[in-house]
Structure 1
């Protein structure tokens, strides 16, 4: 478990000029984590597509409050699924995210809607999916509670207190958290405070980023190419079978039409 560090109101007198962020999180039914929206909010521009599910890891970069901020958005997993139930290509995309911000991310922002109810058994899902990174992710993680409706700080804290699972997640992350109202894009002070918390985390980690095995990057890219090629071949085979079946059906319909036509002509 990561050591508990209170960074709720901390700020750095010497800001880090280069911040590398990876957004991670799960989903439940129609409730999305808000990762892509949070990424757009942080960067101050609509650079991530929020109209669809994130299918592959994407990286964007902007200057934010005199810092060069790199944000990687990742595919989300289903909170109630074990890792083996998550599609292999999604797992590879999640793993590959850390290779899109070399030499490695300073922080993982674990996006969780503040109103989302998470039962106890999602702990296993979270731990299993974070093992995809082969690193001590919790010591580099801040829980990013996302919200679309305004609420007071006390109301947000009350929701967390009522959720043993959220309390457990926060304990794993050293009680590091930030609330982000993604519907209030004009309030840039939310982003400024988040960046300050990230800088405090970087300082507490001795300015070390999350360790990344560079050799794994090429292996992951090869796996993605192989999976994509196999999927493409399977798609082509299915299309050929569908076209063949379509021709067979059309041929039989023509035969039936001719038989019926001749039968009708024979009656005249």
Structure 2
């Protein structure tokens, strides 16, 4: 991000339509977007890939059928685009996406998205603290598992079955 001198004009959140947008997927998107300030949503477009998987269903029907997709599309000001991965010869798909990006950029009175590197550094520091805590918890659980194995190793098999 620091290589974009004036900041990025658009952020694309890529969502494959071949799989469900479940709570885990939504949480991952939220965590990634949280690296930025809330202003990023004004510069974000949802890019749906695998539009060919929709069949006769429209993308709007798919969005309405999943609360997570509704949330995401609403956060992006209803800015989204669908790519059909099987139709490689249709160059209008990319042209239309670029037009939507230009339309969004023109509609943003504030100009490009300002990257707050301090915010990103703070978020990264919080992530490192959480990762260290998770590592300590894993190590404690592994140590406890080893101790339990050792304890059970000394008990005859018939006693183990009787106590369980």
The TM-score by the shorter chain falls in which range? 0.5 to 0.7
* TM-score of the superposed pair, with normalisation by structure 2: 0.63
Equivalents in 2 of 1:206, 1:160: separation in Å? 28
Corresponding residue for residue 199 of structure 1: 102
Larger relative CO (CA 8 A, sep 6+): 1 or 2?
2
- TM-score, structure 1 as length reference: 0.40
Partner of 1:145, secondary structure, is: strand
**Residues 131 and 216 of structure 1: is their aligned pair in 2 closer, same or farther, counting only changes over 3 Å?**
closer
d(CA) in 1 for partners of 2:24, 2:88 = 34
Question: Within 1, Cα distance between the matches of 2:51 and 2:76?
Answer: 24
Structure 1: state its 5+ residue gaps.
1-97, 224-268
Q: Please list every run of 5 or more consecutive structure 2 residues that lacks an aligned counterpart in the other structure.
A: 126-164
Q: Give the Cα separation in 2 of the matches to 1:214 and 1:134.
A: 10
Distance in structure 1 (CA, Å) of the matches to 2:4 and 2:31: 23
TM alignment of 1:101-250, pairs within 5 A: 101-120=4-23, 122-147=25-50, 149=52, 151=54, 154-206=57-109, 208-213=111-116
Residues 104 and 153 of structure 1: CA distance in aligned 2, closer, same or farther (over 3 Å): farther
RMSD after superposition: 2.9
Identify the structure with the greater strand proportion. Answer: 1
- Structure (1 or 2) with the greater helix fraction: 2
CA distance in 1, matches of 2:118, 2:47: 30
Moved beyond 4 Å, runs of 4+: 150-154, 214-217
Per-residue CA shift, 1:43-98, capped at 9, x if unaligned?
Answer: xxxxxxxxxxxxxxxxxxxxxxxxxxxxxxxxxxxxxxxxxxxxxxxxxxxxxxx2
Pick closer, same or farther for the CA change 1:152–1:193 going to 2, 3 Å. farther
| Separation in 2, partners of 1:103, 1:178 | 25
* C-alpha contact (below 8 Å) 2:36/2:119 kept by paired residues: no
